[in-house]
Amino acid sequence: MNRRTGLLFVTPALALFGVFVLYPMVTAFSYAFYEWQGTARGGWAGLENFSALLTRAPFTTDLPRALLHNVLFFVGTMLVQNTIGLTVAFLLHRRARTRRALQTLYAMPYLVSPIVIGYLWTLLLSPTFGPVNTLLTKVGLESWALPWLGDPDTALWVVILVSVWQWIGFPVLLYGAALGGVPEELSEAARVDGASNLQTFRRVTLPLLVPAIGTVSVLTFIFAMEAFALPYAFGGSTGNPAGSTDFISLLFYRTAFDSGAPDAIGTSSALATLLFVVIFGGAYAATAVLRRHEKRITS
């Protein structure tokens, strides 16, 4: 295929991608550095919009709180999916007959819209009519039948655990694929030398899984920083109850579309830029560390 024909083939995709993805992504950042009056763009603002995020209400209270929730979301998800997810993948490994069926079942909730998942668990956990609390009462755990989503102390953890429940099939699948790539001879050799199953896993298999764990961590980080639909379904755009399920994306949404502040475009774009820097910086740093590790184990 010559160059001219090739470019003709690429043009429709390039036009679509350029207009609806690249152009908005690039302008998104420029918005943050201008003064805004409603939808009218004023002069160059430098870092003024960014400093507003650090000095002005409601950002001074909402931003650190939302950021903390995003971080907790990431840490909580990592802890659960790397313990339960890895254990499940490890137990599934070598169960040739049932593995595919079980992996498929674990992946089912992943298909469902986060909005549906949020409303479903809101209903399941409802204190008035709620199968979960009804069940807890029936088996004699009345003291556990709490208004899980109404209490600011527990609501965030419900959001995090429900999210893990929805997504766990993904790490199970990726860890499963990675385990399949670990040469059988290695763990066999360890076992011949008298290592127990657990020792073999810790000393032989786990180090070889680090690249997969790294991939999952980077994707989880991006996912946790962008959390929007699930918390929206649980606590609305204000992170009810009492801001306990607020996240940066919700704060961004409120600032951009609900606040009515005259410079809403400027400050919300600054927030989006900040979030992008955090996501990109975090993902980039993690990938760099991983590359170095991969080099070490392959050399």
Partner 1 sequence: MSVVSAGIGTADEPAVDADPTLAGSGGTGSGPRPPRRGATRGRATPVGGRTASVLLWVYAAFALVPLLLMLSSSFRSNGDLISNPLGAPWPLSFDAYREAWTTGNFATYFGNSLLVTLGAVVLSTTVSTMAAYALARGRSRIFRWLESLFLSGLMLPIHLAILPIFYLFDGVGLVDSRMGLALLYGASGVPFSIFVLTTFFRQLPEELEEAATLDGASPWQTFWRIMVPLVRPALATVAVFRFVPIWNDFLFPLVLLRDDSKYTLPVGLTQFFGENATNYSAVFAGLVITTLPLIALFLVATRQIVAGLTAGMSK
Residues 187-246 that bind partner 1 (CB under 8 A): 188, 191, 197, 212, 215, 222, 226, 228-229, 232-233
Q: Which is nearer to partner 1, 20 or 153 (CB)?
A: 20
By CB under 8 A, residue 144 contacts partner 1 = no
By CB under 8 A, residue 160 contacts partner 1 = no
Binds partner 1 (CB under 8 A): choice among 76, 114, 239, 243: 114
**Cβ at position 206, least distance to partner 1 in Å:** 13
Binds partner 1 (CB under 8 A): choice among 59, 121, 148, 247: 121
Give the footprint of partner 1 on residues 43-102 (CB under 8 A). 88, 90-100, 102
Give the footprint of partner 1 on residues 10-49 (CB under 8 A). 10, 12-14, 16-17, 19-25, 27-28, 31, 39
Q: Quick check: 93 and 174 in contact, CB under 8 A?
A: no
By CB under 8 A, residue 180 contacts partner 1 = yes
Binds partner 1 (CB under 8 A): choice among 86, 160, 173, 251: 173
By CB under 8 A, residue 106 contacts partner 1 = yes
